[in-house]
Amino acid sequence: MKHTLNLILGLLATSGEAAVNVFVQDCNGRAAIHYECTAGEMVRSFALNVSVSQGHIVGISHYFRGPSTVQAQGYGIFPAAFRDYIGLFNNTNANWNAPGYKPLAAMADDPGNSLPGLNSPGVTLELGALWDRSSPASQPSASGTLCWLKLTEAAQVTVTANERRGGVVLASTGASVEALYSGAAVDPVPLITGISLTNGTISITFKGGELESAPTVTGQWTGTGNSTGNYTTNPETGTPASYFRVKSSLGE
C-alpha cells in the first residue's frame, strides 16, 4: 500500500462531544496503555505523555503497525517514526516492520513539549489510524490496547494528553471529545502469582518475565518461552517433579 508523508503527518491535528477513556493497567508486570470510546465515537489519533513516579521506562511492545484493514485493525501510524524509519520519499511500498518503527515521538521535534523517551522516567507516544472510509470493518475497534511499556521497578504510572500534538483527536471533522485519563500502580517484579492442579493439568500464573523450569530447586533452569503470564502443562504419570521461577528481562 502506498502513502505519502504529508498524509501521515496530517493525522495529529486539532480536534473540534464524546468521551474517551485512556487508562493504564498492570498486565503481567508491564504498563498496558488502553483506550475505550464510550459513545460510538471514532478516534483518529492519540498523543500521550506517560510517566513513572520512580525508575525508568525501558521498553515498548504490543503495538499495532501500519494501516488499519479488514484483516487487522489498530493504531499503527507513528508520524515521527514514519518519517525517520520508513519515509516513502521515492513512493515505494512501506515496510511496517522496519527497525525503529515505534510509537515514540521524537523529542527533537518539540523539545519543550516532549518527554525524553526510553531509558528515562517518561515517554511521549504518537499513534494514529489510517483506514479506508468506504469500509467500516477496517476502522479500529472502539476499545483496545495501544501498547505495553516495560519498567525497571514498581511505580505509579501516569498518562495525560500531549496537548501540543493534539491529545485525543476524533475522526469526525469539528467534533470535540472529553478525554478522561487514569493511571495505575505497576509492579514488574518477577513473581509466580498462582499455581493449581485440575484434572491432571497444572496451571501457573506469573508476571514480570519468562517462566523457567528445572528438575531441582538449584537448576539447571530452562526457559519455557512463555512470558504471557499464563502457563499450563500436562505431566504424565511418573514424570519427575519440576520447579518453576520467573526470570526478569529488561527491554522490550
Q: Which helix (H) or strand (E) holds 7?
A: helix 5-9
Strand runs (DSSP E) across the chain, as ranges? 19-27, 30-37, 43-52, 57-61, 122-128, 143-151, 155-161, 168-170, 178-182, 184-186, 191-198, 201-207, 210-214, 222-223, 230-233, 243-247
What's the structural domain count of the chain?
2
Do 110 and 9 reside in the same domain of the chain? yes
Residues 22, 183 contacting (CB under 8 angstroms): no
Residue 236 lies in a domain: yes
Do 182 and 212 reside in the same domain of the chain? no
Tens digit of pLDDT for each residue in 169-202?
A: 998 877 778 899 999 999 998 889 999 989 889 9
For the stretch 111-132, what's the b/e string if a residue is b when 16 or more beta carbons lie within 10 angstroms of its beta carbon? Answer: eeebbebbeebbbbbbbbbbbe
CATH number at residue 26: 2.60.40.1840
> What are the cell numbers at 57?
521506562
Do 167 and 204 reside in the same domain of the chain? no
Do 237 and 120 reside in the same domain of the chain? no
Residue whose entry in the numeric block shows the C-alpha cell 519468562: 210
Give the domain-ending residue among 166, 186, 206: 186
Boundaries of domain holding 236: 191-247
Do 55 and 87 reside in the same domain of the chain? yes
Report the pLDDT value the prediction gives residue 237, as an integer from 0 to 100.
65
Do 110 and 164 reside in the same domain of the chain? yes
Average per-residue pLDDT in the chain? 88
Q: From first to last of its 252 residues, what are the pLDDT tens digits of the chain?
A: 444 344 444 444 444 467 899 999 999 889 999 999 988 789 999 999 999 999 999 999 999 999 999 999 999 999 999 999 987 655 567 889 998 999 999 999 999 999 999 999 999 999 999 999 899 999 999 999 999 999 999 999 999 999 999 999 998 877 778 899 999 999 998 889 999 989 889 999 998 889 999 989 888 999 999 988 899 988 876 677 789 999 876 556
Do 104 and 17 reside in the same domain of the chain? yes
Neighbour tally for 77: CB within 10 Å = 30
